Amino acid sequence: MGLTKSEIFTDAQNEIATLSKAFAHPARVAILHHLFKTNSCICGDLVDEIGLAQATISQHLKELKTLGLIKGNIEGTSVCYCIDQEKWEEMKHLLTAFFNQDIKANNCC
């Protein structure tokens, strides 16, 4: 796969593409759903909840954390995760503006 020429796109376009990675796998969507449903930090029960191996869950958590949508704190031998509310609000604002664009009537197709 070729390199993305991200410099030719706007900051908003690059940010939308980056944040969209969170929704590119159903496991990450399920993790986010679970974090919202519990409305608290989750420490280790995601394997039972999601039904995937610990290593797989860890990879998805790492991706979500890299995207900034979740944050984690180390408590003893486990890492506890929760939604990063500030980043989530930023993403909602950016994606809402993108999805709320209206298609203007034209004679195309």
Structure tokens at 60: 């998805």
pLDDT score recorded for residue 1: 46
Structure tokens at 78: 């486990």
The CATH architecture of the domain made up of 13-97 is: Orthogonal Bundle (1.10)
Do the Cβ atoms of 42 and 34 come closer than 8 Å? yes
Inter-axis angle of helices 85-99 and 11-20, to 10 degrees? Answer: 110
42 Rama sector, left if φ>0, alpha if ψ -120 to 50, beta otherwise: beta
pLDDT score recorded for residue 78: 74
Does this model's pTM top 0.85? no
- List the domain boundaries for the chain: 13-97
- State pLDDT tens for residues 9-20: 999 999 999 999
Structure tokens at 24: 């590119």
* Dihedral sign for Cα atoms in the order 5, 10, 13, 16: positive
Mapped onto helix, strand or coil, the DSSP state of residue 47 is: helix
- State pLDDT tens for residues 5-56: 888 999 999 999 999 999 999 999 999 999 999 888 877 678 888 889 888 9
